[in-house]
Chain A
């Protein structure tokens, strides 16, 4: 039994004890206390339950409903089309391309950010003068607004901008590319920007995980003659497993819904050609700006289902006990 359940049992016993001390019948009777307890529970949780249900869960139900109609957003939807919107989405090469881009971003983020963040976290976990200062700098990109980051890189990478100029100054002029305009290239530019932005988040998580690795273990290994790298390889990194899996989960969910950076960096003209959309930008472009509300909601449902299924699968096979009860509903 966990400490949580123990303490809650104690709470009940304490309530029962103090109830016995008081005369039966009056305002302190057992029935009155139970009623009062339920008033408190309901009174304190209702506001949160309502706000959360109305603004997070109810809209998803509406999305399913709207997605079955052809609807321009005026009046109530009347033209029922069944699964037609879903069919249209999968027939649209731009949507298929957006799906593909999301896949590139999910896999690319995991493969690129993971090793970089692990390396940096191991480095910044060593004790040395100025470590706190370096940690602070490494986290900076993560707190900047996505919009800021997008505009910043758009300016840096624009044609004849500072990156192109620097490359030319270094005699690497032949490497100059249309970073933000060449269709096959742009998704990789976007992946680079996303990596720059979010690798700090992985580092924060990994450093947290590293701080939980008992010093006794690594010290004992060091006394036994293990090298720094051997200690990391055989002790520290395996113990970091749960943290790495949680990061993979959060990174995956984040990558599936990525919107801001893509929207700001890839010009509308580039997006309309395909090759630089994600599901989220495609959804907003079609649903909100082109006012194809039924169609946009179908894309929303697809995005939601993909995320939900991916999350459940990941949780089933990787997470299990890593997030204690948070996703499974068990306080274990």
Chain B
């Protein structure tokens, strides 16, 4: 994509996308700089030492120091937390997609009394912040004996994510032409067979979208893990970063390196799945 910016000026065949006025580029560059400079500062800061950072907080790495990143990567905590984050995010994603698509299928392709009531019931979750109920949720998880387990994070996260998942999936499943379903039923397939063999394969893109949204939400989650994961060996990356930054307040370089490493997966993931994330957010409004 960066090549697009440095490519040659317009050729007759690509007239539709043209170089714009210098003002447009100046503004776009300024906006991009505001968004990305703090992130670059953190990543570069990890390549400096704390004394260097103290002497000149805004300087560039000179020379480049790799030890800080090495130190963070070789201490076991980072990897334990990365694995915890991954397991919880994958579990959340699978749960949200499976439960969400089953419910959305019924809400989209069955006619029955109470269907709209059920749909409204799910969308109620969009009307108020899920975080408001975090204290009674904690008490409930404690009574269920789930505190300090992956389930204590995954199950509520699946529940929080269900409304938006159903709001995105339902119109998508509605849009699959009725002729396809008729044809499948006449050919002797059951409704479930149609769902499994025809509808699901067709819904790939929408499933990826809700899956990505669920994964990112879980990867970044802080409040719920903070309350329900007291056991340090179960901590996820956001908890780990926060703890590291309050425990080793004087190790500025270490905090910067740890923070960079923790955000790297999210950044990579976003670059790969930008289309799905943006598409999902857009689908949620249009739906």
A261 (CB) vs chain B CBs: closest residue: B222
Question: At the interface, yes or no: A63 with Cβ under 8 Å from chain B?
Answer: yes
Question: At the interface, yes or no: A327 with Cβ under 8 Å from chain B?
Answer: yes
Mask: chain A, 142-164; 1 = CB below 8 Å from B; 0 = not? 01111110011111100011101
Residues from 241 to 285 in B contacting A, C-beta threshold 8 Å: 241-242, 245, 252, 255-256, 259, 262-263, 266-267, 269-271, 274, 277-278, 281-282, 285
Residues from 303 to 332 in A contacting B, C-beta threshold 8 Å: 303-304, 307-308, 311-312, 315, 322-331
Q: How far is the CA of A148 from the CA of B222 in the complex (A)?
A: 10
Cβ-defined contact, B124 with A205, below 8 A: no
Question: At the interface, yes or no: A83 with Cβ under 8 Å from chain B?
Answer: no
Question: At the interface, yes or no: B199 with Cβ under 8 Å from chain A?
Answer: no
Q: Could you say which interface size class chain B belongs to?
A: 35 or more
Q: Which of B38, B111, B131, B282 contacts A12 (CB 8 A)?
A: B111
Q: Could you say which interface size class chain A belongs to?
A: 35 or more
Cβ-defined contact, A326 with B123, below 8 A: yes
Q: How far is the CA of A145 from the CA of B258 in the complex (A)?
A: 13
A107 contacts across to B, CB distance below 8 A: none
Q: Is the interface of B mostly helix, strand, loop or mixed?
A: helix
Residues from 189 to 205 in B contacting A, C-beta threshold 8 Å: 191-192
Q: How far is the CA of A8 from the CA of B112 in the complex (A)?
A: 10
Cβ-defined contact, B156 with A44, below 8 A: no
Question: At the interface, yes or no: B47 with Cβ under 8 Å from chain A?
Answer: no
- Assess A300 versus B132: contact at CB under 8 Å? Given A124-B28, A260-B222, A325-B119: yes
A328 contacts across to B, CB distance below 8 A: 120
Q: Is the interface of A mostly helix, strand, loop or mixed?
A: helix
Cβ-defined contact, A133 with B139, below 8 A: no
Cβ-defined contact, A326 with B136, below 8 A: no
Q: How far is the CA of A160 from the CA of B174 in the complex (A)?
A: 57
Mask: chain B, 165-204; 1 = CB below 8 Å from A; 0 = not? 0110000001001100110011000011000000000000
Cβ-defined contact, A208 with B136, below 8 A: no
Cβ-defined contact, A139 with B274, below 8 A: yes
B133 contacts across to A, CB distance below 8 A: 56, 59-60, 63, 300, 304
Question: At the interface, yes or no: B64 with Cβ under 8 Å from chain A?
Answer: no
Q: How far is the CB of B260 from chain A (nearest CB, A)?
A: 9
- Assess A308 versus B135: contact at CB under 8 Å? Given A4-B174, A126-B24, A148-B241: no
Question: At the interface, yes or no: A259 with Cβ under 8 Å from chain B?
Answer: yes
A164 contacts across to B, CB distance below 8 A: 57
B256 contacts across to A, CB distance below 8 A: 155
**Interface pick from A85-93, A173-181, A182-190, A280-288:** A280-288
Cβ-defined contact, B102 with A48, below 8 A: yes
Most chain B beta-carbon contacts within 10 A, residue among A8, A44, A315, A322: A44
Cβ-defined contact, B262 with A41, below 8 A: no
Residues from 132 to 157 in B contacting A, C-beta threshold 8 Å: 132-140, 155-156
Cβ-defined contact, A56 with B130, below 8 A: yes
B286 contacts across to A, CB distance below 8 A: 208, 212
Question: At the interface, yes or no: A114 with Cβ under 8 Å from chain B?
Answer: no
B6 (CB) vs chain A CBs: closest residue: A130
Mask: chain B, 14-38; 1 = CB below 8 Å from A; 0 = not? 0011111000110111011011101
- Assess A288 versus B287: contact at CB under 8 Å? Given A18-B185, A162-B57, A311-B127: no
Cβ-defined contact, B135 with A300, below 8 A: yes
**Interface pick from A196-204, A218-226, A230-238:** A196-204
Residues from 41 to 60 in A contacting B, C-beta threshold 8 Å: 41, 44-45, 47-49, 51-52, 54-60
Which residues on A are within 8 Å of B, measured CB to CB? 3-4, 7-12, 14-15, 18, 37-38, 40-41, 44-45, 47-49, 51-52, 54-60, 62-63, 66, 73, 120, 123-124, 126-134, 136-141, 143-148, 151-156, 160-162, 164-166, 169, 196, 200-201, 204-205, 207-209, 212, 243, 246, 253-254, 256-257, 259-260, 263-264, 280, 283-284, 287-288, 293, 296-297, 300, 303-304, 307-308, 311-312, 315, 322-331
Knowing that A124-B28, A144-B39, A315-B127 touch, tell me 5 more A-B residue pairs with CB under 8 angstroms: A10-B182, A55-B155, A56-B162, A139-B278, A155-B252
- In the A-B complex, the 4 residue pairs with the closest CB atoms: A257-B129, A329-B120, A130-B5, A128-B20
Return 6 A-B CB contacts under 8 Å, by A number: A7-B177, A37-B110, A47-B102, A207-B278, A208-B278, A263-B223
